[in-house]
Amino acid sequence: MISATEIDIQTGGEFARPNYLSEHSVRSWLLTTDHKRIGILYLFTILFFFAIASVAAALMRIELLYPTGGLMTSETYNKLFTIHGTLMVWFFLIPSIPAVLGNFVLPMMLGARDVAFPKLNLTSWYLFVLGGAFATWSLIRGGVDTGWTFYTPYSTTYANSHVISMAAGVFVAGFATIITGINFIVTTHKMRAPGLTWFRLPLFVWSLYATSLMMVLATPVLAMTLGLISLERIWGVGIFDPNLGGDPILFQHMFWFYSHPAVYIMILPGMGVVSELIACFSRKRVYGYGWVACASMAIAILGFLVWGHHMFVSSQSVYAGMIFSALSFLVAVPSGVKVFNWTATLRKGSIHFATPMLYALGFIGLFVIGGLTGLFLATLSVDVHVHDTYFIIAHFHYIMVGGMVTGFMGGLHYWWPKITGRLYPELWGKLAALATFLGFNLTFFPLFVLGYLGQPRRYHVYPPEFQVFHVLSTAGASILGVGYVMPLIYFIWSAKHGRVAGPNPWRATGLEWQTSSPPPTHNFKVTPVVTSDPYNYSPEKDADLDLASI
């Protein structure tokens, strides 16, 4: 981490001191209960897993350049996509926005001194690290080849890889997620500043609240499911094995009862960030604020009623499939509300194409593609055609990478001045945003075509006529990789050498901008009192503002 004393020497003490970065002993970091520091601890931890999972993805993309495979055995390929999936889902995406940005800004947005249970918050990080250690241990011993979904009876009976240690890792990390969820819900209910009523909350808080609801109610079922898988591997009673009277579909029900809400855990926080960005960089109130807030809650609740759409071609009853299909279409309504309201917010706004805004606009486009292709998949008959093909891969990467990671990057740029007190270099930021957008589309759009043509997922050998799409995709992945490495470099650089940002470089509303950057340990010198609605921007007043070249 950057040392605060050095900053003060270089800038002549322009930062408010002491701030939350002032202490720099290792002990002060490992025993901290400050939500901001815990957010930073989470940031470093998830970046570690993001790096491993990205390397796995890169190796897969290189392997897929040639239709005959050849670089690796099928078994290695199976392990690579499992590493990529498990680490990206549980050790990067799920904690990405909530545990990093959420931890950092949620209490400040509420005008609180900390989350409700700071010690539990630190415990959450330690559990996450412990879970990560189990997962890493599983990788070191040779990895897992079940795919991130752990489908039975393969995972329980036939797989010869290290399923139990990986399941244990995800199990433990799950409790970290639950603790974060409990903390956010209680903090939002109990610790709002005076005057901060529910419909004055920033939309990021609403989306984190909805996300926490899913974390708290879905994750325990995953824990139980993984526990049962591990016990099955040890004792083999056969509750998921049809030969012994068990039912593998029961596993799928339990798994997707968690994992469908989990994929909304991997998009809702991104939507929350984008609401903040769109409002700030078009200098307008969010159009239909109440609808956007309620849409978050609707997505969270509907997310629990649609899990069977992952199981259309399992032996699930057709009638259950019809119900799940019909309910899945309903999710499009609140998602549509959000997209239309963001677009309406842009109208007549005073739009600043600053880096966070570029990410936000990219998010909207990519999310629309990802969301609409979701409707194809919710249709029973179409899903039978494209199930388990690259179409699915493209669909959920548009949501999770195009949506969530883009939202995460946008949010990280937006709050970076608050986190470090310094600005990142704007030109490099714009280049990186552009590179990720182009690289992402080039990587994943060809996969829609491949999937429609029938390329199944999880194979590293394919018919030669598909090669051109794979080459395009690998080329895109290289650009995407550059787009992710660039911010890594300039963020590190700017933490030391960036221009001092001041408390509110974006002239944004929101309580987190009312305190100094970096904020003091308990956030506010005086508890703020809220007297107005959120996003109190006026495009006319800020017409002379130029946020894009700040």
Partner 1 sequence: METATHPAKIYWRNCAALMLLLALTCIIGYINLGMFNVIIALAIAIIKATLVALFFMHIKGSSRLLHLAMTVGLIWLLIMLSFTLTDYFTRGWVPLNH
Partner 2 sequence: MNTTSNMSVGFVAEQFDDFQQQRGAAQFGMWIFLATEVLFFGGLFLAYTVFRSLYPGDFVAASHHTVVAIGGINTAILLFSSTLMALAVRAAELRNQKQLIRLLVGTAFFGIIFMILKGVEYYKDWNDHLVPVLNFEWHQPNPGHAQIFFWLYFAMTGLHAIHVTVGICIMLVFAVIARTGKFTSGHFTPIEIAGLYWHFVDIVWIFLFPLLYLAGHR
Residues that bind partner 1 (CB under 8 A): 189, 213, 217, 221, 249-250, 253, 257, 304-305, 307-308, 315-320, 323-324
Residue 320 interacts with which of partner 1, partner 2, none, CB < 5 to 8 Å by class: partner 1
Residue 60 interacts with which of partner 1, partner 2, none, CB < 5 to 8 Å by class: none
Between helices 248-265 and 289-302, what is the axis angle to 10°?
A: 160
Residue 319 interacts with which of partner 1, partner 2, none, CB < 5 to 8 Å by class: partner 1
Asked whether the beta carbons of 469 and 447 are under 8 A apart, the reply is: yes
Amino acid at 463: P
Please identify, using beta-carbon distances, which residue of 253 and 413 lies nearer to partner 1.
253
Residue 308 interacts with which of partner 1, partner 2, none, CB < 5 to 8 Å by class: partner 1
Residue 318 interacts with which of partner 2, partner 1, none, CB < 5 to 8 Å by class: partner 1
CB of residue 86 to partner 2, shortest distance in Å: 20
Residue 16 interacts with which of partner 1, partner 2, none, CB < 5 to 8 Å by class: none
Please identify, using beta-carbon distances, which residue of 206 and 324 lies nearer to partner 1.
324
CB of residue 361 to partner 1, shortest distance in Å: 36
CB of residue 231 to partner 1, shortest distance in Å: 20
Residue 346 CA to residue 179 CA, distance in Å, equals 36
Please identify, using beta-carbon distances, which residue of 249 and 294 lies nearer to partner 1.
249
Residue 333 interacts with which of partner 2, partner 1, none, CB < 5 to 8 Å by class: none
b/e 528-549 (16+ beta carbons within 10 angstroms → b):
bebeeebbebeeeebeeeebee
CB of residue 311 to partner 1, shortest distance in Å: 8
User: Minimal CA–CA distance to 172: which of 137, 211, 213?
Assistant: 137
Please identify, using beta-carbon distances, which residue of 175 and 535 lies nearer to partner 1.
175
CB of residue 522 to partner 2, shortest distance in Å: 7
CB of residue 318 to partner 1, shortest distance in Å: 6
Residue 268 region by backbone torsions, left for phi larger than 0, else alpha for psi between -120 and 50, else beta:
alpha
CB of residue 317 to partner 1, shortest distance in Å: 4
φ, ψ for residue 531, nearest 5 deg: -120, -5
Residue recorded with tokens 């997707």? 256
Residue 305 interacts with which of partner 2, partner 1, none, CB < 5 to 8 Å by class: partner 1
Residue 44 CA to residue 122 CA, distance in Å, equals 14
CB of residue 206 to partner 2, shortest distance in Å: 18
Residues that bind partner 2 (CB under 8 A): 112-118, 178, 181-183, 185-186, 189-191, 194, 216-221, 223-225, 228, 231, 235-239, 244-247, 250, 253-254, 522, 526-527
CB of residue 57 to partner 2, shortest distance in Å: 31
Please identify, using beta-carbon distances, which residue of 48 and 304 lies nearer to partner 1.
304
Question: Helical H runs in 88-202?
Answer: 94-95, 103-110, 118-140, 163-190
Please identify, using beta-carbon distances, which residue of 91 and 240 lies nearer to partner 2.
240
Q: What is the 3-state secondary structure (H, E, C) of 447-499?
A: HHHHHHHCCECCCCCCCHHHHHHHHHHHHHHHHHHHHHHHHHHHHHHHHHHCC
According to DSSP, residue 348 is labeled T
User: Can you read off the two tokens belonging to residue 389?
Assistant: 């093909």
Residue 323 interacts with which of partner 1, partner 2, none, CB < 5 to 8 Å by class: partner 1
Please identify, using beta-carbon distances, which residue of 345 and 523 lies nearer to partner 2.
523
b/e 9-19 (16+ beta carbons within 10 angstroms → b):
eeeeeebbeeb
Residue 158 interacts with which of partner 2, partner 1, none, CB < 5 to 8 Å by class: none
Distance, C-alpha 340 to centroid of its chain: 22
Please identify, using beta-carbon distances, which residue of 2 and 323 lies nearer to partner 1.
323
Angle at alpha carbon of residue 118, lines to 116 and 124, rounded to 5°: 110
| Non-local CB neighbours of 368 within 8 Å, separated by 6+ positions | 339
CB of residue 169 to partner 1, shortest distance in Å: 24
| Non-local CB neighbours of 145 within 8 Å, separated by 6+ positions | 75, 78, 79, 82, 159, 160, 161
Please identify, using beta-carbon distances, which residue of 144 and 185 lies nearer to partner 1.
185
Please identify, using beta-carbon distances, which residue of 23 and 247 lies nearer to partner 1.
247
User: Minimal CA–CA distance to 498: which of 419, 430, 436?
Assistant: 419
